[in-house]
Amino acid sequence: MPITAYKPTSSARRGMTSEDTSELTTSKPTRSLTQSFKKSHGRNNQGRITTRHKGGASRRKYRSISFALPKNYHGIIEHIEYDPNRTSHIARLKGDDGRYRYILAAHGMTVGQQIHSGDDVAIDTGNRLTLSQIPVGSVIHAIELKPGKGAQVVRSAGASAQLVARDENSAQVRLPSGEVRLFSLECSASLGVIGNEQHQNVSIGKAGRNRRKGIRPTVRGVVMNAVDHPHGGGDGGRHRMAKAPRTPWGQKTLGLKTRRNKSTNKYIVRSRHASRRS
């Protein structure tokens, strides 16, 4: 999907780009698949800020996505739609049972395409199978971590993983980060690459677009007072940080390893950090 540029009618417009929506087939979501949700804007029930840099987002409704299609499911794509709650686009399916469902739209999906889920389905883009039925070397997305729980991995725009190996008990999948991880053969995944791959190349252009996304301004620590940030304070204007990078609360950051879930280390065959060094 190409990127749309604007005429430089103002300093904010100069350099601003957006996604080309020519592939979208409708501008309104299906009402039965949407629901309202209240945003906290980074505040707790006492009104105090618990997550910084959040607030001021545009109102939007949540689209209910089917991250796990029923077994032996047959549906047809009726629309490709925009979803304000995620980077990828979504596709509306109408199943044989007459029910509508939203799924993540893969690259190359078109209106009228049939989507199948099960064990004996064709190896085509958008179809959903268990890892035991997917050929080794296939490109996949929307992978389950636990069988039947629904897709939790590889769900953002332009992302994809690859099934690199399989044995009697598990499958090895190379994730977008470069990490190779073990998955159960009963976990399901969809074939293909998630669409809207040019999302990462969009230039925001002005602060107002981030405010409508719910992102408030961010101030560097070195320009704060010493009472407000460990990097702040000092005389003479611009200066470097006096200590290693830290959060506003004094904890080390920017490269510090924070992984604490040691119970899942056994599933990691190759670390994403090792793949970057090689």
Q: Using one digit for the tens of pLDDT, what is the confidence trace for 235-247? A: 877 888 878 999 9
Residue whose C-alpha is closest to residue 1's, from 196, 202, 194, 204 = 196
Query: Residue range 101-125: average pLDDT?
Result: 95
Q: d(Cα 142, Cα 96) in Å, to the nearest integer?
A: 23
Question: Is 37 buried (19+), middle (13-18) or exposed (0-12) by CB count in 10 A?
Answer: exposed
CA distances from 66 to 77, 128, 142, 199, 210 (A): 14, 12, 11, 22, 28
Question: Distance between CA 174 and CA 236 in Å, rounded?
Answer: 49
Partners of 162 in beta bridges = 139, 174
- Note the pLDDT of residue 276: 53
d(CA 77, CA 79): 6
What class, spelled out in words, does domain 3-199 have in CATH?
mainly beta
Q: What is the pLDDT of residues 5-57, one digit of tens each?
A: 999 999 989 989 999 888 899 999 999 999 998 888 999 999 999 999 999 99
Domain map (residue ranges) of the chain: 3-199, 231-278
pLDDT score of 278 more than 70? no
- 256 and 249 Cβ atoms separated by less than 8 Å: no
What gap in Å lies between CA 269 and CA 171, rounded to an integer? 11
Residue 215 pairs with which residues in a beta bridge?
54
Question: Global pTM?
Answer: 0.90
Q: For the residues 223-243, what does the mean pLDDT come to?
A: 87
pLDDT in tens, 86-100: 999 999 999 999 999
d(CA 183, CA 109): 26
